[in-house]
Amino acid sequence: MSDLHTLGVAQLSALLQNKDIGAVELATRMLARLGGNPHNAFLSVDSEVTLAQAKAADARIATGDTSPLLGVPIAHKDIFVTADFPTTAGSRILEGYRSPFNATVVQRMGEAGMVTLGKLSCDEFAMGSANENVAVPSAKPQAVTNPWDVSRIPGGSSGGSAAAVAACLTPAATGTDTGGSIRQPAAFCGITGIKPTYGRASRYGMVAFASSLDQAGPMARNAEDCALLLSAMCSPDLDRDSTSLDVKAEDFSRDLNKPLKGLRVGVPHEFFADGLASDVRGPINTALENLKSQGATLVSIALPRTSLSIPVYYIIAPAEASSNLSRFDGVKFGHRAKDFTDLADMYEKTRTEGFGDEVKRRIMIGSYVLSHGYYDAYYLQAQKIRRMIADDFQEAFKQCDVIAGPVAPTVAWKLGDKSDDPLANYLADIFTLPASLAGLPGMSIPVGFGEGHMPVGMQLIGNYLQEAKLLNVAHQFQLATEFHLKTPGGAA
Amino acid sequence: MSALLVHGYEVVIGFETHAQLSTQSKIFSRASTAFGAEPNTQACAVDLALPGTLPVMNKGAVERAIQLGLALGSHIAERSIFARKNYFYPDLPKGYQISQFEIPVVQGGVVSFFMEEGKATVHKTVRLVRAHLEEDAGKSLHEDFIAQTGIDLNRAGTPLLEIVTEPDMRSSAEAVAYAKELHKIVTWIGICDGNMQEGSFRCDANVSVRKPGAPLGTRREIKNLNSFKFMQQAIDYEVRWQIEQIEDGHAIQQATVLFNPDTGETRAMRTKEDAADYRYFPDPDLPPLVIGRDWVERVRSEMAELPRVMAERFVTQYGLPEYDATQLTQSKAMAAYFEATAKACGQAKLASNWIMGDVSRRLNSGEVAFETLPVSAAQLAALIGRINDNTISNNAARQVFDALWSEGGANVDDATADATRVDAIIDAKGLKQMNDSGELEKIIDEVLAANPKNVEEFKAGNAKALNGLVGPIMKASKGKANPAQVNELLLKKLG
Amino acid sequence: MSLTPADIQRLALLSRLSFDTPASQRLLEGLNNFFAIVEEMRKVDTSGVVPMAHPIDAMPYLADHAPSAPEGMALRLRDDVVSEDNQRETNQRSAPAVERGLFLVPKVIE
C-alpha cells in the first residue's frame, strides 16, 4: 500500500472498514509526509492530538461502527477554530491564539470520526486569491506553492487546503468560500471542491470575513468524496448560528449515479467573453461536449450583470469585514503591541502591526462605503444590484438545471505576478463572485490542463439546495474522464 | 399653557432611557445576567467576541419589548431589523454594538402622568419616538489599577430596551416626573427590576434652551443619570450653564457631558472624534425579527392591569380623587394593599388616607416593603372599621396601629384573626371612646362651670375660646371622649 | 468620486489603523483605482429594487420549510435559559493582560 496517500476518502474508508489498515497506522503514514511542510501547506500540526483521535477511531471501528468517514484523515483550513490546535486565520494578530471551543464544522467531522492532521494555510482572514497574503508564522511567513508547479500560486484563499489535497498530504480538507475561495484553488490545483448553498454549513467557529457570503465546504479528490464530506458537514446548527438554514440534513450521495440524460446545462455567454484565456476555454468546451455526449443539452443563457459582480462584491465583503475585524483590538485575545502611549495608541499599533496590507486595504474600503454620506451610494446600491444578480440566476434557472462555465479566466499564475496589483486579483474573481452574491451552491471539478500543464477547473452552479444535483453531474463526468485521478509529479 | 421660563429661556428636554431587561440569560448568549458576580465569570465566548462566535436571539427579551409596547400604546413592528453600531471602546468586545437603527421593534407610544406645577396639578403627556432592543456593554473599572483600567465583561450582552422620547419636556421637574413614571411602568409590568443603583435603569437627558418661539437650540447630552435626585440637579445646572454661555455670547457646541454629584456640575467628556460616524448597517448575522399578531395578542391578554388604567378605575370604582389614585398606583403591591383594605372595610377614602399617610411614612424610612408589611390589609381594614363606627378616635387608632406595627407577624392567612387582634389591643389599652352622651354631658357641664371666662368669650363671638374648653373636657374624659361628639354637645349647650 | 489624503486619514482613524506617508500614498492610489471600477456600479438604475442584505432573503422556496416567515427566513428565538457556566480561565487563556479576572487596558480617561 505504498500509494495510500493517493487514495480518496471513500477508498480509505473501505480499507479501514475492511481492517486492511488501522487509523493509527494511516495517520502515522500521513504525518510522516508532512515533514518539511511541503508547499508550506500546513500552519500547525500536533502528532499527539492526531494519534489520539486515530486511536479513538480505531476503537469505534472495533465495535463495528461503519460510519463512512471513520478513521479517515482530514485537515482544516486555519479559518476554523480548534481547541486542540492554534488558530491564526493566517494572521499575525491571532498568532498563538487558542480557541476554547471547536468550530461546528470541525466538531461534526470529529463526531464522524475523522482524524485531524493539522491546520492549513490560507490568505489572511480568507482575503485573497493566491494564498500570498498569509502572514504567519510572523518570523517568516511562507506563501503556499502549487504542487503542479511550485513557482505558481495554488489559488486562494483556501490555498493550503487545495495544495494539501493535490499533493496528497491529506485526502480531504475543509475550505471556506466567500467569493470563490474553494472553487478557484480547487481549479488551480486540479482537485474537486464544493461551496454549498449559503446557510447549509454552520458558520459558528469560522473566523468571520464577510458574514453574508462566507460558507464552509469540502475539498477532496473527487465528487464522491465531497458528497460524503458534505453530508457530515451540513446539518443545521440552529442553536448557535442564526443564519443556519433549518432544512433537513441530507445524504448528498443519493443522486450520484443518476444518468445525465435530459439534463439542461446553461452556458452563460458572459463567462466566455474575450477575457477568458484560450487555454482555459479549450478544456471547458471539451468538458461541455462530454456532458452533451452523456445526454445533456447545452442551453445558452445570459447572466448580464456578471462583470458588475466585481464592484458589488468588493463593496459588500469589505464592508462586512471592516466590522467583523473590529474585535481584533488587543484587549481580550490575540496580538497586542508591545509599546504604546495610551489606549488609542494601543489600538492603532496593535491593528497596524497585526493586520497585513490586503486586510488593511479592505478594512479601509469597508469603512468608507459604510460611512455616513456614502452608505446609499455604495453599500445600499451594491445590495440592490446583488438582488438583481440573484434574480438573473432565477431567470436563468427557468431554462436550465445547472449552469456550467469556467472557474477563473486563466490557470494559476506565477508567484508574485499579481501580488502588487490587488485590482488584478479582484478582476480574476469574475466568474465565482456571482454565485457567492446570490448564495447559490457552486462546484469546481478538474477538466483538463492549460498553459504550463496547469490544471483547468470547470464550475457548476446549481439553484438553492441543489448540491446533490451538482455532485451528480460532477460524478458522472468523473466516471467518464480521468482528470481527477491525475496527481502532480511532485506528489510522491 | 404658560411656559416655565428660566431667565426668559424655554428649556427643551428629551430623554433616552436604557432599561435592562429582567431576562435570565443575555440577549445574544446563554450566559447569566445576574448582578454582582466575580469579574468575567458570566462572560461566555459569545460575550467576549471570541473569533467565530455568533449571536442567537433571546425570546424573553423580545417578549418584554412587546410588553413595553403594549403598556405605552405603541406600534409593535411586525418586522424589525438589527443593525451594527460600530465604534471602538474596551468595554465593547466586538467593536460594534448590536442594536436597531432604521426599523426598531417598538414605534411611537406615550407616557402620561400628573405633576405639580406651581399650585396646580397638571396632566402631562410625553411622546415616545421609539424603543429598540440592543445589548449592554461591559464595565470599566478605573479606580482599581494604576495607569490602567480593568474591563469586566459580565454586563456585556445584557438585554436593553432603549426608550427614546420626543423633546417634549419643558422643565427638569417634568423630566424627573417622566422618568419616575416610566420607571414605575417598567417595574410594574415586570420587564425591568428598576434597580437604579445597579444600573438597571439609566437615563440620558438631551438638554437645550431657546428663546420662546425660536428654533431648537443645540443640545448637549447628559449621560448616565441613575438617580432621580441627581437627574434634576444635573439638568438644572446644565440649563443655567447653557444660558450663561449664550448670554456671554458663546454658541453651544454639541457635546456629551457627565454629571459630577460631588460638585453638582456637568462637564463635557473628552471628545470622541468621529464618534458620530457609527457606520450603521443591517447585521448580517441576524435575519429580521418577525413578530406575528398572534404573539402580540397573547401577550396583551396575559398582561396585568396597567397603573394608569388602574388609577382611573380607582377614581370611578372607589370615588377617589385623581391624586390619591395616582399615589396608590405607585406600585402593584401598594395598589393591591389598598384594594384589599378598601374592599374589607368599605371606606376607600379612609383607607387611602391611612396608606398614603401612616403606612407610607413608615415605608419611606426604608425598612420594609409592601410585600412584608407588619400590618396586614385585613388589620388596617378592621382598624378603619373601628374608627368609622366610633369605637375609637383617630388618635387612639394611631396607638393601635403602632402596636400592630411593632408586634409584626401579621397573619395574612387568617383575616378574622387579624380583625380580632385589633379589638384585643383596643381593649388592652383601654382605648374605647366614651360614647355614652350622659356621662359626657356631665363632664362638659363640670368644665363649663369651671371655666366661665371661656364661656363668656365664646358667647361674645370668639370661636377660638372653644379650644380652651375642649382640652379640659378631653383630659377629664381621659382621652376617651369622641371629639366630634364633644364639639356637638358643647355647641348645643352654649347655643 | 475620488478619495483625498484627508479621507485616508479619516478612515484610518475610524478603523484604528495608521499608515506612513508612502503607504498612505499607495493606498490612496490603489483605492482610487478601485473606485474607478465602482463608478460603473453607481450608474446602474436600481430604482424600485429592494436591497438584498442576505442571500436568505432571496430563497423564496424556504417558505415551504418555514411557513411562519413568508417573506424569507425570520430570526430564530431561543428560550430564555442560562446554560453557559463560568469558563473564565479557559476563555482568558489567550488574553494579553489579565489581573484578578479583569482584562487590563491603558487607563481610559472620560
Give the burial string for A286-303 (b: 16+ CB within 10 Å, else e): ebbebbeebebebeebeb
The reply to whether residue C59 touches residue A439, judged by beta carbons under 8 angstroms, is yes
Q: How many CB atoms lie within 10 A of CB A76?
A: 29
Which pLDDT band holds residue A421 (cuts at 50, 70, 90)?
A: confident
Q: Is the pLDDT of residue A11 over 80?
A: yes
CA distance A4 to A1: 5
Among the partner-chain residues B51, B95, B281, the one whose CB lies closest to the CB of A370 is B281
The reply to whether residue C99 touches residue B62, judged by beta carbons under 8 angstroms, is no
Interface test with C, best of A81, A91, A387, A430 (most C CBs within 10 A): A387
Q: In terms of CA atoms, which chain C residue is nearest residue B281?
A: C53
Phi and psi torsions of C46, nearest 5°: -115, 25
Q: In sequence order, what DSSP letters do the residues of A82-148 get, joined into one string?
A: -SSS---TT-GGGTT---SS--HHHHHHHHTT-EEEEEE--SGGG--SSS-----STTS-----BTT
Q: In terms of CA atoms, which chain C residue is nearest residue A374?
A: C1
Q: How many helices (H) and strands (E) does chain B have?
A: 16, 18
Which residues partner with B206 through β-bridges?
Answer: B14, B221
Q: Give the side-chain half-sphere CA count within 13 A for B68.
A: 35
Single-letter code of the amino acid located at A247: V
Q: In terms of CA atoms, which chain B residue is nearest residue A213?
A: B284
Q: In sequence order, what DSSP letters do the residues of B384-426 get, joined into one string?
A: HHHHHTTSS-HHHHHHHHHHHHHH----TT-HHHHHHHHHHHH
User: Which residues have a Cβ under 8 Å from the Cβ of A393 and sit 6 or more positions away?
Assistant: A303, A403, A434, A435, A438, A440, A461, A463
Q: How many CB atoms lie within 10 A of CB A153?
A: 28
CA distance C82 to C76: 17
CA distance B241 to B247: 10
Nearest to B14 by CA among B161, B179, B136: B179
Evaluate whether A8 touches A224 at the Cβ level (below 8 Å): yes
CB contacts, 8 Å: A325 with chain B: 95
CB contacts, 8 Å: B287 with chain A: 242-243
Evaluate whether B403 touches B431 at the Cβ level (below 8 Å): no
Q: Rg of chain A over CA atoms, in angstroms?
A: 21
Residue with cell 368609622: B388
Overall residue count recorded for chain A in this entry? 492
Evaluate whether A147 touches A128 at the Cβ level (below 8 Å): no
The reply to whether residue C11 touches residue A439, judged by beta carbons under 8 angstroms, is no
pLDDT tens digits, A353-375 = 999 999 999 999 999 999 988 99
User: Which residues have a Cβ under 8 Å from the Cβ of B263 and sit 6 or more positions away?
Assistant: none
**Cell numbers at B137, concatenated:** 456593554
The percentage of residues in chain B with a pLDDT greater than 90, rounded to a whole number, is 63
Largest alpha-carbon pair distance within chain C?
58
Which pLDDT band holds residue B410 (cuts at 50, 70, 90)?
A: low
Q: In terms of CA atoms, which chain C residue is nearest residue A330?
A: C96
CA distance B381 to B369: 19
DSSP A489: G
The reply to whether residue A103 touches residue B49, judged by beta carbons under 8 angstroms, is no
Confidence at residue B414, expressed as pLDDT on a 0 to 100 scale: 63
Confidence at residue C2, expressed as pLDDT on a 0 to 100 scale: 85
CA distance A108 to A232: 6
Q: Give C82→chain A minimum CA distance, Å.
A: 13
Among the partner-chain residues A99, A239, A327, the one whose CB lies closest to the CB of B95 is A327
Q: Is the pLDDT of residue B318 over 90?
A: yes
CA distance B231 to B103: 30
Q: Give the side-chain half-sphere CA count within 13 A for C57.
A: 24
Q: Is the pLDDT of residue A490 over 90?
A: no
CA distance B450 to A129: 115
Residue with cell 369622641: B482
The reply to whether residue B54 touches residue A242, judged by beta carbons under 8 angstroms, is yes
CA distance B174 to B170: 7
Q: Helices marked H in chain C — which ranges?
A: 5-15, 21-42, 62-65, 88-91
User: Which residues have a Cβ under 8 Å from the Cβ of A201 and sit 6 or more positions away?
Assistant: A105, A215, A216, A217, A233, A234
Nearest to A79 by CA among A89, A68, A93: A89
Q: Strand B57-58 to strand C77-78: parallel, antiparallel, or no bridges (unpaired)? A: parallel
Among the partner-chain residues C46, C53, C90, the one whose CB lies closest to the CB of A385 is C46
- Taking the Cβ of residue B102 and every Cβ of chain A, the question of whether any pair is shorter than 8 Å is answered with no
pLDDT tens digits, A74-92 = 999 999 999 999 999 999 9
CA distance B236 to B216: 18
CA distance A309 to A300: 20
Q: Which helix (H) or strand (E) holds A344?
A: helix A343-354
- Taking the Cβ of residue B272 and every Cβ of chain A, the question of whether any pair is shorter than 8 Å is answered with no
The reply to whether residue C8 touches residue A364, judged by beta carbons under 8 angstroms, is yes
Evaluate whether B9 touches B209 at the Cβ level (below 8 Å): yes
- Helices C21-42 and A357-370 pack at an angle, to 10 degrees, of 50
Evaluate whether A379 touches A370 at the Cβ level (below 8 Å): yes
- Taking the Cβ of residue B110 and every Cβ of chain A, the question of whether any pair is shorter than 8 Å is answered with no
Confidence at residue A492, expressed as pLDDT on a 0 to 100 scale: 36
Confidence at residue B366, expressed as pLDDT on a 0 to 100 scale: 66
- Taking the Cβ of residue B360 and every Cβ of chain A, the question of whether any pair is shorter than 8 Å is answered with no
Confidence at residue C68, expressed as pLDDT on a 0 to 100 scale: 46
Neighbouring chains to B with at least 3 Cβ pairs closer than 8 Å: A, C
- Chain A interface residues facing chain B, Cβ-Cβ under 8 Å? 80-81, 87, 89, 94, 97, 99-101, 103, 203-208, 210-212, 239-243, 319-320, 322-323, 325-329, 331-333, 343, 347, 367, 370-372, 375, 379
Q: How many CB atoms lie within 10 A of CB A338?
A: 8
Among the partner-chain residues C16, C75, C78, the one whose CB lies closest to the CB of A347 is C16
Overall residue count recorded for chain C in this entry? 110
Evaluate whether B435 touches B452 at the Cβ level (below 8 Å): no
Nearest to B360 by CA among B387, B334, B386: B334
CB contacts, 8 Å: A392 with chain C: none
* Mean pLDDT for chain A overall: 96
CA distance A321 to B158: 25
Confidence at residue B445, expressed as pLDDT on a 0 to 100 scale: 86
Q: What is the pTM of this model?
A: 0.90
Burial of B146 (0-12, 13-18, 19+ CB in 10 A): exposed
Q: Give A190→chain B minimum CA distance, Å.
A: 30
Q: Is the pLDDT of residue A125 over 90?
A: yes
Evaluate whether A440 touches A393 at the Cβ level (below 8 Å): yes
Confidence at residue A145, expressed as pLDDT on a 0 to 100 scale: 98
The reply to whether residue C54 touches residue B148, judged by beta carbons under 8 angstroms, is no
Query: B288 by DSSP, 3-state: which?
Result: coil
Q: Is the pLDDT of residue C71 over 90?
A: no
Mean pLDDT in residue range B482-488: 80
Q: How many CB atoms lie within 10 A of CB B35?
A: 16
CA of A172: how far to CAs of A9, B124, B208, in Å?
A: 7, 70, 65
Indicate which residues of A carry an active-site annotation.
77, 157, 181
Interface test with A, best of C8, C9, C38 (most A CBs within 10 A): C38
CA distance B54 to A239: 10
**Cell numbers at A445, concatenated:** 471539478
Burial of A159 (0-12, 13-18, 19+ CB in 10 A): buried
Confidence at residue C83, expressed as pLDDT on a 0 to 100 scale: 96
The reply to whether residue C40 touches residue A311, judged by beta carbons under 8 angstroms, is yes
- Taking the Cβ of residue B275 and every Cβ of chain A, the question of whether any pair is shorter than 8 Å is answered with no
pLDDT tens digits, A169-202 = 999 999 999 999 999 999 999 999 999 999 999 9
Among the partner-chain residues C74, C88, C110, the one whose CB lies closest to the CB of B40 is C88
Interface test with C, best of A308, A326, A332 (most C CBs within 10 A): A332
Mean pLDDT in residue range C61-77: 61
CA distance C51 to C60: 15
CA distance A426 to A129: 8
CB contacts, 8 Å: B54 with chain A: 203-204, 240-243
The reply to whether residue B53 touches residue A94, judged by beta carbons under 8 angstroms, is no
Among the partner-chain residues B58, B140, B288, the one whose CB lies closest to the CB of C78 is B58
**Cell numbers at A461, concatenated:** 452552479
CA distance B480 to B483: 9
Confidence at residue B3, expressed as pLDDT on a 0 to 100 scale: 63
Bigger pLDDT: B374 vs A107: A107
Confidence at residue A491, expressed as pLDDT on a 0 to 100 scale: 43
Q: In sequence order, what DSSP letters do the residues of A135-198 get, joined into one string?
A: --STTS-----BTTBTTB---SSSHHHHHHHHTTS-SEEEEE-SSSTTHHHHHHTT-EEEE-ST
Q: Is the pLDDT of residue A284 over 80?
A: yes
CA distance A398 to A468: 19
